[in-house]
Amino acid sequence: MSLLEIENLSLKIGETPILRDIDLSIDAGEVMGLVGESGSGKSMTALTVMQLLPNAARAEGRVSFDGIDILAATEDRMCQLRGDDIGMVFQEPMTALNPVKTIGEQVAEGIRWHTGASRADAEERARQILDRVGLPEQKFPLSRYPHQLSGGQRQRVVIAIACALKPKLLIADEPTTALDVVLQAQILELLRDLVDENRMGLLLISHDLAVVTQMADRITILRHGEVMETGETALTLSKQAHPYTRQLALASTHVPERRVFALPLAGRVWAEPTGGGGDEALDPSQTEHSSRPPPRPAELADPPLKGEGKGAPLLDVQNISRAYPGQRLSMFRKAEAFRAVDDVSFSISPGQSTALVGRSGCGKSTLARMILALDRPTGGAIRFMGETLTGKDEATLKPARRNMQVVFQDPYGSFNPRHKVERLVSEPLHLLEKQPSAAERREMVAAALREVGLRADDMDKYPHEFSGGQRQRLSIARAIITRPKLVVADEPVSALDVSIRAQILDLFADLNQRLGVAYLFITHDLTVARAITDDVMIMHEGKIVERGPTGEVLDHPQSEAAKALVAAAPDLHRAIARRLQEQG
């Protein structure tokens, strides 16, 4: 008998069906990957096992854990199971810990509750488990508060809480989605080790097929509350018997068709002149599963836009820095200034798509803010279309702003919910020299909406009437309405499901081609960088440490930072290949 057996589980919240006839089982020591897009019922399945569903939820079917009928268990019985035999890790480490309690208190609390241990004993055990998850006491005493830790460290605390009593089953609901790739790799490795050490069952929930393939022995694919396919991971994903499985796999590795930009850069630049080493990832046995498009024919490579001199860059950033004053240590002493961006120089040609890649906190967004003239650099100069931006006031910045727009990560938070689409999308029009009439304005909004694949009559709707992907289309419509020369996109697809992400990437590629917009694509996702950009810049601790054609840099990274990113980035094809190889 399996550790966890779910049979014919159906769930309704009020009258809305959420799950239908879910079957799923996990053995001790096994990792089960649960994959699906948002709203497919992944989290609800997990919360059913924990019996932490919303009040209005009604579950039917059978859920048995270690011989216990979960759906019939009393709340008291569940309180005994939760945190002791079943642990759970959540997606958002920044909010998963109580801000007013120390990490020691929070880890020890569950230990005391379940074992009745004294405070001192519980703290000793808390110390051990925190040490195990990589937070040794010398550096991270129990008296730390969550806000004193970074996101990755907080996720380690959450894992410590979940694993403190060596549960038989660990449920991890998107445990690494909010983390950058390097941290993601570390956390996944930790989970893997904990599973092996304690023969724990792990239910790993994720929308990222590559992550699940790396980790899971078996995989269950969920869509609209129903199981589409379930089976051994590598086999399921290499056969792709179910059409939805194929669709997911294709979307995860989707590369939009686009012409390669004629690169103005002579070659590659990197900060650490280490001897270039070959990358094992290019081993032919592993790339044969790759569905990456073949190298594009050379005749497709178009010269950059007409009219603009090939030598004149659209954006030219010279030795730019942004320092934040250090915290005051005492009345007379200040800590050294923190240099978020440190002496960065680069340029972007018209129509060129450049990726800015780096770990969280490396200064990517600060750099983008300065380019958009939303933040003033403390040193250096930014020139856009031949004009210096630095030190100008808003009025003189207007023409530049017209030619430079932005798309943000969160398609939910970047619109005022009380305004209609017409008003939201036409917002940048005030930057035009001649204000359009009301009729002209509607015409321009309609054109922009059509450009991004929405209908013209969508302009009379409110943002909440659109899905996440459609909202991101709205953000893009807003960004292109003034016909800008440069669009800065800050993680524009990382909040989207894979199939929608593929569509939005197509849209970006299409606009790049048709309108000749140059992109600065800020992302921590190398797959996205590969898919949509000609050039990549790797940023690390405020500096750009490596730069060159995207494929080349990502295939043969030279700097340590780039190597770390590439090594940590999950790759679906590599992961499948490795799994198949392991099984012979």
Partner 1 sequence: MTSYLLKRLLIGALTLVVASIVVFSVLEILPGDPARLMLGLNASEATVQVLREQMGLNQPILLRYLDWAGGLLTLDFGKSYTYSVPVAELVAERVVVSLPLALMALFLSTVIAIPVGVFSAQRRGSAADTLSMGAAQIGVAIPNFWFALILIYIFAVWLRLVPAGGFPGWNAGLWPASKALILPAVALALPQAAILARVTRSALLEVLGEDYIRTARAKGMPRSHVLWRHALRNAMIPVLTILGLQFAFLLAGTIIIENVFYLPGLGRLIFQAITQRDLIVVESVVMLLVATVIVVNLLVDLSYAIVDPRLRIRQ
Residues lying near partner 1 in the complex (CB under 8 A): 50, 52, 75-76, 79-84, 87-88, 90, 92, 95-101, 106, 109-110, 113-114, 145, 147, 158, 161-162, 327-328, 331
Please, what is the minimum distance in Å from the beta carbon of residue 362 to partner 1?
Answer: 23
In the complex with partner 1, the residue whose CB is nearer, 82 or 364, is 82
In the complex with partner 1, the residue whose CB is nearer, 49 or 507, is 49
Please, what is the minimum distance in Å from the beta carbon of residue 562 to partner 1?
Answer: 34
CA dihedral of 416, 422, 423, 424, whole degrees rounded to 10: 40
In the complex with partner 1, the residue whose CB is nearer, 102 or 186, is 102
**379: nearest Cα among 541, 387, 313, 370:** 370
In the complex with partner 1, the residue whose CB is nearer, 327 or 435, is 327
**52: nearest Cα among 166, 204, 177, 173:** 173
In the complex with partner 1, the residue whose CB is nearer, 75 or 280, is 75
**36: nearest Cα among 143, 167, 174:** 174
- Strands 169-173 and 315-324 come out as unpaired
With left for phi above 0 and alpha for psi between -120 and 50, is residue 443 left, alpha or beta?
alpha
In the complex with partner 1, the residue whose CB is nearer, 146 or 377, is 146
In the complex with partner 1, the residue whose CB is nearer, 92 or 217, is 92
Helix, strand, coil in percent for the chain, rounding step 5 = 40, 25, 40
Q: Which residues on neighbouring strands pair with residue 348, listed in sequence order?
A: 315
Q: Are 52 and 238 in contact (CB under 8 A)?
A: no
Q: ∠212-362-543 over CA atoms, to 5°? A: 130
Q: Token digits for 224?
A: 């609209």
Please, what is the minimum distance in Å from the beta carbon of residue 331 to partner 1?
Answer: 7
Count of helix runs (H) and strand runs (E) in the chain? 20, 21
Please, what is the minimum distance in Å from the beta carbon of residue 222 to partner 1?
Answer: 21
Please, what is the minimum distance in Å from the beta carbon of residue 460 to partner 1?
Answer: 33
In the complex with partner 1, the residue whose CB is nearer, 52 or 282, is 52
Strand, coil or helix: what is 1?
A: coil
Please, what is the minimum distance in Å from the beta carbon of residue 329 to partner 1?
Answer: 8
In the complex with partner 1, the residue whose CB is nearer, 330 or 437, is 330
Q: Token digits for 242?
A: 């179910």
Please, what is the minimum distance in Å from the beta carbon of residue 156 to partner 1?
Answer: 14
Please state, in angstroms and rounded to a whole number, the distance separating the CA atoms of residues 234 and 581: 10
Please state, in angstroms and rounded to a whole number, the distance separating the CA atoms of residues 379 and 24: 58
Please, what is the minimum distance in Å from the beta carbon of residue 83 to partner 1?
Answer: 3
Q: Which residues on neighbouring strands pair with residue 405, listed in sequence order?
A: 487
| Residue tagged 């931006």 (tokens) | 389
Please, what is the minimum distance in Å from the beta carbon of residue 67 to partner 1?
Answer: 19
In the complex with partner 1, the residue whose CB is nearer, 50 or 536, is 50
Strand, coil or helix: what is 85?
A: coil
In the complex with partner 1, the residue whose CB is nearer, 154 or 369, is 154
Q: Token digits for 322?
A: 């942004």
In the complex with partner 1, the residue whose CB is nearer, 102 or 318, is 102
In the complex with partner 1, the residue whose CB is nearer, 145 or 408, is 145
Please state, in angstroms and rounded to a whole number, the distance separating the CA atoms of residues 210 and 233: 11
Name every residue whose Cβ is closer than 8 Å to that of residue 196 and which is 6 or more positions away in sequence: 29
Please, what is the minimum distance in Å from the beta carbon of residue 153 to partner 1?
Answer: 15
Name every residue whose Cβ is closer than 8 Å to that of residue 545 and which is 6 or more positions away in sequence: 270, 271, 272, 538, 539, 559, 560, 561, 562
Other CB atoms within a 10 A radius of the CB of residue 493 amount to 27
Measured in degrees and rounded to the nearest 5, phi and psi for residue 184 equal -55, -45
- Strands 4-13 and 315-324 come out as unpaired
Q: Which residues on neighbouring strands pair with residue 549, listed in sequence order?
A: 535
Q: ∠307-311-316 over CA atoms, to 5°? A: 105
